[in-house]
């Protein structure tokens, strides 16, 4: 596939947030917009999400930094849900959200009725895979369609060319992928009774599986396993950081990072990396080398490019988790050669911290001299959120995350 130039309209970097800490991380590390959920009607119930007051506070915080807020309201609702939807939408409207992300046409119509000033984004759960569907949704009032993950770049470019120019196109660029069509899966319902299409997915596709022959109960035969087990339904994570120019030239308006159920560290690191990758693409520069490295420092399965370059083969699955780094501390302040840290995971005197700051290349700091909050030298920081004084000539910005590479067993 070949393209001539990047479009004039600058694209948006869209980051996930499962709570206020993750929202603040997304904003601090460069998101243009953040998508999140209230305590109802979102497709991720595992995170704490946002109460009405937290949602209002979160919107105010984001807007004060020039960042937009999109509220997921994208479950596949049943009759029992409908009567509760209208007051929920009114609450979100009053909180000041910029868009509703919806799957169901009834929810879309209700949102247009109670909150006509709030944009409508069509969720990936709707499964938009062609320009005819996108055009019809635009005619019904959609501002944006979040395309199904099952599209190739060629198909995205065709859809863009055959839809109205003011219909925005959003695509996933990073994160977990389901072994299903646009996330519509019934495995969780079958195994646990938890409805994945109501935001309660138990993620049974991530479980380990083995064969059991009926006359040999309790004898489990492995299925193409690695050292961590067998993952026949476990898709590799998507990583398109090296292909942002192709996405832009295909006409994508919003680059979406998956992960509302993941940690604030994941949100910070992924947003920071894609901010740089997007800035590089807009400027016509090669990808900054540390971007790829950064994305290997967050918890992830083996990476792939999903469906963007054609239908994946069996190599899309069998991906187990990679967790090589953990956050050791968060910097609270730095003054006269002393960084005040708040501990997150145990670290030791003599460790080397890999420091993540917004918009900067990661850098290393030796932790040769550490003291507790009373100024007493210590050999390790082993109490949760304890205050640690780190003596270093390297100024560390408040809010910076200090990471430690895990020791291999």
Residue located via tokens 């994208």? 74
Confidence of residue 374 (pLDDT cuts 50, 70, 90): very high
- CB count, 10 Å around CB of 123? 25
Would you say residue 225 has pLDDT above 80?
A: no
Could you count the other beta carbons within 10 Å of the beta carbon of residue 107? 25
User: Phi and psi dihedrals of 365, rounded to 5?
Assistant: -135, 125
Residue 86 near residue 110 (C-beta atoms within 8 A):
yes
* pLDDT attached to residue 42: 56
Q: How confident is the model at residue 375 (pLDDT cuts 50, 70, 90)?
A: very high
> What is residue 403's predicted lDDT score, i.e. its pLDDT?
97
Tens digits of per-residue pLDDT, 84-138? 999 999 999 999 999 999 999 999 999 999 999 999 999 998 999 999 999 999 9
Residue 308 has pLDDT above 90, yes or no: yes
First to last CA, the chain: 44
In sequence order, what DSSP letters do the residues of 252-270 get, joined into one string?
Answer: --EEEE--TTS-HHHHHHH
Domain with CATH 3.20.20.380 in the chain: 12-180+235-322
**What letter does residue 116 receive in the DSSP assignment?**
T
What is the total residue count of the chain? 409
Q: Give the angle subtended at the CA of 352 by the CAs of 351 and 357, to the nearest 5°.
A: 135
CA-CA distance, 187 to 181, in Å (whole number)?
A: 13
pTM of the model: 0.85
The torsion angle over the Cα atoms of residues 45, 273, 302 and 248, rounded to 10 degrees, is 90
Report d(CA 195, CA 263) in Å as an integer: 23
Highest mean pLDDT among 25-34, 183-192, 210-219, 311-320: 25-34
What's the chain's average pLDDT? Answer: 88
Dump pLDDT digits (tens) for 187-196. Answer: 666 677 666 5
CATH number at 325-405? 2.40.30.10
Helix (H, G, I), strand (E, B) or coil at 109: helix
CA-CA distance, 244 to 238, in Å (whole number)?
Answer: 13
Integer Cα distance of 25 and 23 in angstroms: 5
User: Exposed (0-12), middle (13-18) or buried (19+): which is 372, by Cβ within 10 Å?
Assistant: middle
Give pLDDT tens digits for 323-361: 889 999 999 999 999 999 999 999 999 999 999 999 899
Structural tokens at position 398: 């408040």
pLDDT tens track for 65-79: 999 999 999 888 889
* 246 contacts 271 by C-beta, under 8 angstroms: no
**C-alpha–C-alpha distance, residues 301 and 318, integer Å:** 9
Contact 39, 51 (CB under 8 A): yes
CATH 2.40.30.10 intervals, the chain = 325-405
Query: Over the stretch 146-175, which tens digit does the pLDDT of each residue have?
Result: 999 989 999 999 999 999 999 999 999 999
Average pLDDT over residues 7-12: 72
Q: What is the pLDDT of residues 263-291, one digit of tens each?
A: 999 999 999 999 999 999 999 999 999 99
H or E element: which one contains 350?
Answer: none
pLDDT of residue 47: 58
Q: Does domain 12-180+235-322 have CATH number 3.30.470.30?
A: no
**Residue 234 CB neighbour total at 10 angstroms:** 25
- pLDDT > 50? residue 5: no
């Amino acid at each position: 596939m070949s393209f001539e130039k990047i479009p004039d309209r600058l694209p948006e970097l869209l980051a996930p947030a499962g709570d206020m800490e993750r929202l603040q991380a997304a904003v601090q590390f460069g998101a243009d917009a953040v998508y999140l959920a209230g305590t109802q009607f979102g497709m991720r119930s595992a995170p704490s999400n946002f109460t009405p007051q937290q949602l209002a506070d979160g919107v105010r915080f984001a807007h004060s930094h020039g960042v937009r807020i999109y509220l997921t309201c994208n479950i596949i609702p049943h009759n029992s849900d409908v009567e509760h939807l209208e007051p929920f939408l009114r609450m979100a409207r009053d909180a000041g959200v910029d868009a509703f992300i919806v799957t169901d046409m009834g929810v879309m119509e209700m949102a247009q009725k109670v909150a006509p000033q709030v944009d409508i984004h069509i969720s990936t759960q709707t499964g938009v895979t062609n320009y005819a569907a996108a055009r019809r949704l635009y005619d019904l009032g959609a501002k944006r369609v979040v395309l199904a993950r099952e599209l190739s770049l060629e198909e995205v470019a065709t859809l863009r060319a055959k839809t109205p120019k003011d219909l925005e196109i959003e695509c996933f660029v990073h994160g977990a992928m389901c072994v299903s069509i646009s996330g519509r899966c019934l495995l969780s319902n079958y195994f646990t009774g938890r409805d994945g299409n109501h935001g309660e997915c138990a993620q049974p596709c991530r479980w380990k599986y083995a064969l059991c022959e009926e006359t040999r109960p309790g004898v489990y035969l492995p299925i193409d396993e690695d050292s961590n087990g067998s993952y026949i339904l476990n898709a590799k994570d998507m990583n398109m950081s090296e292909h942002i120019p192709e996405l832009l030239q295909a006409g994508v308006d919003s680059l979406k990072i998956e992960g509302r159920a993941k940690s604030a560290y994941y949100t910070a690191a992924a947003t920071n990396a894609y901010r740089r990758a997007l800035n590089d693409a807009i400027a016509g520069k090669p990808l900054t080398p540390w971007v790829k490295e950064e994305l290997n420092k967050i918890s992830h399965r083996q990476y792939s490019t999903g469906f963007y370059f054609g239908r994946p083969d069996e190599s899309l699955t069998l991906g187990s988790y990679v967790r090589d780094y953990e956050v050791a501390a968060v910097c609270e302040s730095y003054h006269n050669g002393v960084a005040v840290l708040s501990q997150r995971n145990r670290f030791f005197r003599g460790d080397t911290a890999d420091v993540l700051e917004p918009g900067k290349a990661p850098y290393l700091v030796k932790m040769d001299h550490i003291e507790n909050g009373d100024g007493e030298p210590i050999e390790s920081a082993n109490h949760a959120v304890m205050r640690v004084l780190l003596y270093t000539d390297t100024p560390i910005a408040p809010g910076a995350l200090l990471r430690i590479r895990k020791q291999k067993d």
